[in-house]
Amino acid sequence: LIREVKGIVALDSRGNPTVKAIVKTNKGIGVGIAPSGASKSSKEAIELRDGGKKWVGMGVNLAVSKLNEEVSQRLINQDSRQQYLIDSLLIALDGTKNKSSLGGNTTTAVSIAVSKAAANTANLELYEYLGGPSARILPTPILNIINGGVHAGNNLAFQEFILIPTGARTFIDAMRMSIEVYKNLKGVISEKYGKTSTNVGDEGGYAPPLNESREAFSLIETAIKKSGYELGTDFHLGMDAASSEFYNKDKKVYKVDGKEFTSSELIDFYESLINEFSIIYLEDPFDEDDFDSFSEITKKLGNKLLIVGDDLYATNVNYLMTGIKKKATNGALVKVNQIGTLTETFDYIRLAKESGIIPVISHRSGDTEDPFIADLAVAVGSGIIKTGAPARSERVSKYNRLIEIENQLGPNAIYLGKEPFVRL
């Protein structure tokens, strides 16, 4: 039974305060820390922030005090193994549609901490506790190694240029190969743009002063070759356009690389990039409300690559239902703090899987040392994890946990490489 629920302030990778929950049972303890996005969907659970001058308005004192009072009182003496019940209590206590009363940051931290306390009490690894004995698929990492959009101080409209180690045989091999390319990419950028261009963005990828998306992909291609690998066999590429950030709702156009595109022109542009750079992953190609354009691109290109809804769905089963009806995507991003509890996240993953949609477990651009999503990815057998460049501790904590899990599983571990992208 839960004996103590405590909230304190922690810091995320951008230096913003966030909520940390510590849950103790008679025999175990669990800690959860809420991450935080920058290119957020308007459909997400609301983060409770204090406003005002302190912490530049980003304080979470109210969230933490709600955790220490209302939430703590409600959860004491509950069974930590009853995740569904506990999440239901959180949802009822909050009483809003978007967690705006307790804050999605509060409920996320608590929900995660409860699951870890239960696993710890049962003396199980978290992925075993959440996924059972069949949990043994290590996800293929998709690594954001050039940052643009709102994650970087450059002119790239697209937010993420992603490296995918499809040719690796094991998770550790995938990391080694990707790091070789990441390191060589630094040299390639430095040679062409000078060493001041090798600084990194919010997710640890380089943020060179580029104006054209094609140039970003081409730099990565050069780095792949320089590392002795081949694009299209050892590696494939991906991108998160995060296009709500550069959509002009009044004019109904997308501004990319200094030009304006209608939806159908943008499909053609995506298609040319996809063919030129062996792209097998495309996230948020259109505005978060434009289901119809998603359906169009999925109809046209969905047999070639994974088209993933992030801001489109916001880890919410209701939006995913619409996407399923409209055949909008064949992939769905999963971010626990977009919806605010684990139970709702599992419902979303289940619905995706039942509908033949690949769930992709994801970090946030503001993240922490909490490796929770590594265990989550293995537990649900997602097959894909998105957690940034292989640098910066808030990214690397997830990779390190996956390396550890691969070691624990030994010969039972499975790495699927390209398969999750073509299981369409």
Q: Which residues are annotated as a binding site for substrate?
A: 151, 160, 283, 310, 362-365, 386
Catalytic (active-site) positions: 203, 335
Tokens representing residue 22 in the block = 């510590």
Based on the shown chain and the rule CB under 5 A, indicate whether residue 347 belongs to the binding site for Zn ion: no
Residue in the block written with tokens 């009044």: 250
DSSP conformational letter for 401: H
Based on the shown chain and the rule CB under 6 A, indicate whether residue 37 belongs to the binding site for ligand PGA: yes
From candidates 128, 180, 240, 370, binder to Zn ion by CB under 5 A: 240
Distance CA 200, CA 279 (A): 23
Task: Provide the CA 103 distance to its chain's centre, in angstroms.
Answer: 20
Distance CA 55, CA 58 (A): 5
Residues in contact with ligand PGA, shown as a per-residue x/- string from 96 to 135 under the rule CB under 6 A: ----------------------------------------
Distance CA 105, CA 336 (A): 10
- Smallest CA-to-CA distance from 213 within 270, 254, 286, 156 is with 156
Tell me, by CB under 5 A, how many residues bind Zn ion.
4
Segment near ligand PGA (CB under 6 A), from 31-39, 227-235, 260-268, 415-423?
A: 31-39
Gyration radius of the chain's alpha carbons: 21
Name the minimum Å distance from CB 67 to Zn ion. Answer: 28
Based on the shown chain and the rule CB under 5 A, indicate whether residue 310 belongs to the binding site for Zn ion: yes
Name the minimum Å distance from CB 360 to ligand PGA. Answer: 9
Distance CA 186, CA 176 (A): 16
Based on the shown chain and the rule CB under 6 A, indicate whether residue 365 belongs to the binding site for ligand PGA: yes
Residue 80 Cα distances to 4, 15, 87, 253, 298, angstroms: 11, 31, 10, 49, 41
Q: Which is nearer to ligand PGA, 23 or 312 (CB)?
A: 312
Distance CA 134, CA 245 (A): 39
Based on the shown chain and the rule CB under 6 A, indicate whether residue 392 belongs to the binding site for ligand PGA: no
- Which amino acid, one-letter code, is at 247? Y
Residues 284-323 contacting ligand PGA, CB under 6 A = 310
Residue 394 contact among Zn ion, ligand PGA, none, beta carbon within 5 to 8 Å by kind: none
Q: Which is nearer to ligand PGA, 37 or 383 (CB)?
A: 37
Q: Which is nearer to ligand PGA, 136 or 335 (CB)?
A: 335
Residue 40 contact among ligand PGA, Zn ion, none, beta carbon within 5 to 8 Å by kind: ligand PGA
Residue 370 contact among Zn ion, ligand PGA, none, beta carbon within 5 to 8 Å by kind: none
Segment near ligand PGA (CB under 6 A), from 222-230, 297-305, 318-326, 357-365?
A: 357-365
Give one DSSP letter per residue of 316-371, joined into a string: -HHHHHHHHHTT--SEEEE-HHHH--HHHHHHHHHHHHHTTPEEEEE--SB--S--
Binding positions for (2R)-2-phosphoglycerate: 159, 335, 364-365, 386
Identify the three-state secondary structure at position 377.
helix
On the CB side of 252, CA atoms within 13 Å amount to 7
Tokens representing residue 229 in the block = 């690998």
Residue in the block written with tokens 């998105």: 386
From candidates 24, 43, 364, 401, binder to ligand PGA by CB under 6 A: 364
Based on the shown chain and the rule CB under 6 A, indicate whether residue 14 belongs to the binding site for ligand PGA: no
Residues 221-240 contacting ligand PGA, CB under 6 A = 240
Binding positions for Mg(2+): 240, 283, 310
Q: Which residues bind ligand PGA (CB under 6 A)?
A: 37-40, 159, 240, 242, 310, 362, 364-365
